[in-house]
Amino acid sequence: MQKLNIDEVKPSMVLAATVKDKDGNILFLKGVELTERHIIILNNRDIKKIVVEGCPVKREICMSDDYFKEIDRRFSTAGSHPVILKMKDIIKELLF
């Protein structure tokens, strides 16, 4: 997984996370293969960053899916406790 600035996004990249607008409305679901039209919509909705599968842009750090699976595993005993689940989301956000 890799978090990209919207100007780094190219057609055929696949979303690794659902994209929501600032009001929480879902724009695109995880797994969508992006097209030029999708990228235009993201720009028009003022989306600054998205998470895509793999590591299409060369950088020093790129988090693997295994890394995030390990985070999910460690938080699996929390059940549906909202505070713990929010902490997990914050940790994932900070890591990439």
What are the domain boundaries of the chain?
Answer: 1-59, 63-96
Among positive and negative, which fits the CA dihedral 88, 22, 28, 42?
A: negative
Q: What is the pLDDT along the chain (96 residues), one digit of tens a residue?
A: 788 899 999 999 999 999 999 899 999 999 999 999 999 999 999 999 998 988 767 765 566 667 777 888 888 888 888 898 888 888 877 766
User: What pLDDT score does 38 carry?
Assistant: 97
What kind of architecture, by CATH, is found in domain 1-59?
Alpha-Beta Complex (3.90)
User: What pLDDT score does 19 carry?
Assistant: 95
pTM of the full structure: 0.63
